[in-house]
Structure 1
Amino acid sequence: MLDKAIQLRESGQYEEAKALLLQLVKLDPNHSSVWYQCAWVHDAMGLEREAVPYYKKALELGLPGEERQGALLGLGSTYRTLGMYEEAQSIFIEAIREFPERREFQVFYAMVRFNQQAYCDAMEILLKQLAETSSDNGIQMYKKAILFYSDKLEQTWD
C-alpha cells in the first residue's frame, strides 16, 4: 500500500495519495516511512503547516539515510516557508553537521539566513557552493577570487 501511495503522489494524484497515507498512519503508527510520505504529500499539496507534525514524527521514529535527509530538508524548508526561521536554522545546522557532503542543505540554509536578514552570510554560503560545484569555465577561472571575496563582501580596499 505504501508503494501505491508513493506512485499516486509521484503522478500528481495528491488527494488519493493523502487518503491512503492517512489510512496507513492509523494501521501502522510506528512506520517512519509512512509518516515521511504523509508529510511529503501534505507539502506537495501546499499544506505546509499540516506537514510539520508528520515530518517530526517520521524523524522521531527514525528514518534510514535518504529518507532522513529528505525529511530534514522537507521540515527545514517547510519551517522556512512558514516564517519559522529559528526552527529552520536549527534543522539545517543539524543536517549540515550530519550530512556535510549534501550541498542542498547549505543552499536551503542560505535561504534561511537571507530571511533572517543575514545577507552577507547568505551570499557567502551561496558563493562558496557556486565556486565549489559549478563546471562553468568562467566560474572555475575565477574560483579562487570568488572564494576569497565570499566572506569579504562589505570590505573595500583603498
Structure 2
Amino acid sequence: MDDWQQRVDAIWDDAAERGEEATLAAILALAAERPSGDPLALSESAGAYDYAGREAEAEPLYRAALDAGLPEPERSRATIQLASTLRNLDRPEEAVELLRDLLADRPHDPLAADARAFAALALFDLGLGAEALREALAALVPHLARYGRAVSAYAAELDDE
C-alpha cells in the first residue's frame, strides 16, 4: 500500500472523532495531491461526500471514478457505494440495476453479500418485500451451517401477493 492510501486510511480511521465536514475536507485535500481524473482520488472524494451526507455531490464522482477505470477491489466497493447513494437519492430502481449488473459480472466477488444486502434494501424501498427478503436470504445462505438448501427453497416460494 502506498503512502497516499495509508494517509487516506488514517483519515477514515479517525472519521468519527474528526466529524463529517472535517473528514470531507481532509479527504479532498489528499485527493488534490493526485492527478486530475485519478480514479482512486475520485472514489475517495465521492465516499467523503457521501459520509458528509452530500449524496448529490458524491454521485457524479463515483461515476467518474468508475468511468476512469477504477481497479478492483475498489471498483466493487465504489459500485456498492454508488448504489447506496442512488437509493438515498430516491432512485432505488437504478440502485438495483447497478447491483444486479455487479453480481452478474462478478458473482463470486468478495463483496457479493454486501451487494445483495444493499439490493435488498433498494428492493424493499420499491415495495418488493418478498423479493427483498429473497435477496437478503441469498446473501445469508452461504454462511448457514446446515439449512442453506431449505432456506433457499423457502425463499424461492416467497411472493408479494
TM-score interval (norm. to shorter): 0.7 to 0.9
Instruction: Give ranges in structure 2 of 5+ residues lacking alignment.
Output: none
Whole-Å Cα distance in 2 between the matches of residues 153 and 68 of structure 1?
32
Q: Which residue of 2 aligns with 1:10?
A: 13
TM-score in terms of structure 2 length: 0.81
What residue is the counterpart of 1:51 in the other structure?
58
Counterpart AA for 1:105: A
2:149 alignment partner in structure 1: 144
Q: 1:21 to 1:86 in 2, by over 3 A?
A: farther
Aligned with 1:100: secondary structure?
coil
Q: 1:128 pairs with 125, 130, 138, which one?
A: 138
1:118 aligns with: 128
Shift in Å, 1:40: 1.1
- Offset from partner CA, 1:73-117 (integer Å, 9 cap, x none): 110111111111122122111111122112211121111111111
Q: Which moved more, 1:88-97 or 1:125-134?
A: 125-134
> Alignment RMSD, CA only?
2.1
The structure 1 residue matched to 2:49, chosen from 25, 38, 42, is: 42
The answer for the alignment partner of 1:89 in structure 2 is 96
For residues 51 and 144 of structure 2, the distance between their equivalents in structure 1, rounded to whole angstroms, comes to 29
TM-score of the superposed pair, with normalisation by structure 1: 0.82
Structure 1: distance between partners of 2:24 and 2:134: 40
Q: Which amino acid aligns with 1:144?
A: R
SS of match in other structure, 2:90: coil
Supply the distance in 1 between the matched residues of 2:73 and 2:55 (Cα, whole angstroms): 21
Deviates more, 1:118-127 or 1:59-68: 118-127
After TM superposition, give the deviation of residue 125 of structure 1 in Å. 1.6
C-alpha distance in 2, partners of 1:104/1:19?
26
Report which of the two structures shows the higher radius of gyration computed on alpha carbons: 1
Q: Which runs of 5+ in 1 are unaligned?
A: none
After the TM superposition, list the runs of 4 or more consecutive aligned residues in structure 1 that deviate by more than 6 angstroms.
Answer: none
Figure out how many residues of one structure are paired with residues of the other and give that number. 148
Aligned mate of 1:104, from 107, 111, 114: 114
CA contact (8 A) 2:24 2:45 kept: no
Rounded Cα–Cα distance in structure 1 between residues aligned with 2:117 and 2:77: 14
- Structure 1 residue 56: Cα displacement: 0.7
Q: 2:35 aligns with which of 28, 38, 41?
A: 28
